Amino acid sequence: MVQQIAVRPIDVVVEALRAARKADGAVNEVGSPIEERSWNTDVEGGATWKSMFGNLHLQVSGFRLEFPEAQAQNMWAAANIDRGDRPSAVRVLLSMQAVEGAKVLHCAAGEVTDVTAGSMPDLVVPVVYDGAAPRTREKDKDNIDIVILQRNGMFVQLQVSVITRGGVFYVGVQEIFAGQVVRTNASKVLKLGLKKETINGAQVGLIVPLFEGNAYPGADYLNVFPRMGPKVIKYAVAHEMCVPLSECVVAKWAPEETPLPPNLKAEDGWMRAVVRSYNLVTGCGHLLCDDGVDCFLHFSVIGGDFPSVPPMKAVAVQHWLRDNRRKALKFQSL
């Protein structure tokens, strides 16, 4: 018997949030803002991420970034590091220009530092070699997180990383989460099922999803980021960069509804699913199958030079069981 994922149906969460906002005095519902983003390289060999939160520029010391690719919240570019160079580390220089009034937080190894008025520390990623193949994956060393926090509590958390796939170095920028910091009383959030952080006395802070892709079933920022999440909330509340429950955004997950094509038959083991989440750094993600069961996804199943898949994407999957959990064996975007 396969394990069901322990998540609340998304409609239940949305309705609970709507009810909590109404009880807090909300009159009108606030929908997700429209985010426009871009990701481009420049003539100097750098790359820039632009969005409603500001601009982040990246430059790899000694190398150029080329062939920028974007897939919703997932962005990457290849670093033209020759396979014969064998660098011992890759240094990424970062500069952030946030929108007016926003704060910029540098997050690494669970520590959160305000770098709004200063320079952004470089990301220096060590490289090890398995024979001729470079490898950068090492927890707390191959990536940093940058939180850009606006006055209304809306924020985006970017994960900047150096990744190797097929012997090629890539620099990735992923909008790992976008949310809004909310302050309220503990008694008002009991029905939401979201983890909260106590600020003082009965006052608590929590984070609600900002965009559709962040509002997947089971989404809970503090569960995903237990080390840095509470620090982000406390910083936001201390600087009054948050909103009451009555003013928060209500984001609803809206996955694609593309059906299985006739050539991918259920009797051959194919099942329809949608992407809940995917992490560029780990190369791992989770699918939500149509029968409500979670399926683990590894980048090696996706294929391509740089495997990636955006949230809410409809896919077809064949899976196998290991330790009573589904793991994707074959995968096809719909």
User: Please, what are the domains in the chain?
Assistant: 1-253 (no CATH), 266-333 (2.40.50.140)
pLDDT of 195 reads 86
Token pair in block for residue 285: 């993600």
**3-state secondary structure (DSSP) of residue 296:** strand
Alpha helices in the chain (DSSP H): 10-23, 221-224, 229-238, 299-302
Q: Is the pLDDT of residue 3 over 70?
A: no
Q: Which of 68, 308, 305, 298 lies closest to 168 in space, CA to CA?
A: 305
Q: Are 246 and 185 in contact (CB under 8 A)?
A: no
The pLDDT tens digits of the residues spanning 299-310 come to 999 989 999 999
Beta bridge partners of 208: 180
Buried b vs exposed e over 124-133: b needs ≥16 C-beta within 10 Å? Answer: ebebeeeeee
Question: DSSP readout, 174-204?
Answer: EEEEEEEEEEEEGGGSTTT----EEEETTEE
Task: State the Cα–Cα distance between residues 331 and 319, nearest whole angstrom.
Answer: 9
Task: State the Cα–Cα distance between residues 128 and 135, nearest whole angstrom.
Answer: 5
Q: Cα–Cα distances in Å, from 289 out to 24, 293, 314, 317?
A: 35, 5, 10, 9
Beta bridge partners of 71: 74
Stronger pLDDT, 171 or 132, i.e. the higher one:
171
Stronger pLDDT, 34 or 59, i.e. the higher one:
59
pLDDT of 108 reads 85
Q: Measured in whole angstroms, how far is the alpha carbon of residue 200 from the centre of its chain?
A: 29
Q: Which of 96, 150, 162 lies closest to 306 in space, CA to CA?
A: 162
Stronger pLDDT, 326 or 16, i.e. the higher one:
326
Task: State the Cα–Cα distance between residues 257 and 279, nearest whole angstrom.
Answer: 22
Q: Cα–Cα distances in Å, from 305 out to 69, 170, 312?
A: 11, 11, 22
Q: Is the pLDDT of residue 8 over 50?
A: no
Give the chain's length: 334
pTM for the whole structure = 0.91
Outline where DSSP puts E strands in 61-110: 65-71, 74-79, 89-98, 103-108
**3-state secondary structure (DSSP) of residue 159:** strand
Q: Is the pLDDT of residue 203 over 60?
A: yes
Mean pLDDT of the chain: 89
The mean pLDDT of 208-235, rounded to a whole number, is 91
Q: Which of 205, 198, 203 lies closest to 179 in space, CA to CA?
A: 205
pLDDT of 257 reads 93
Q: Measured in whole angstroms, how far is the alpha carbon of residue 174 from the centre of its chain?
A: 6
Task: State the Cα–Cα distance between residues 279 and 251, nearest whole angstrom.
Answer: 21
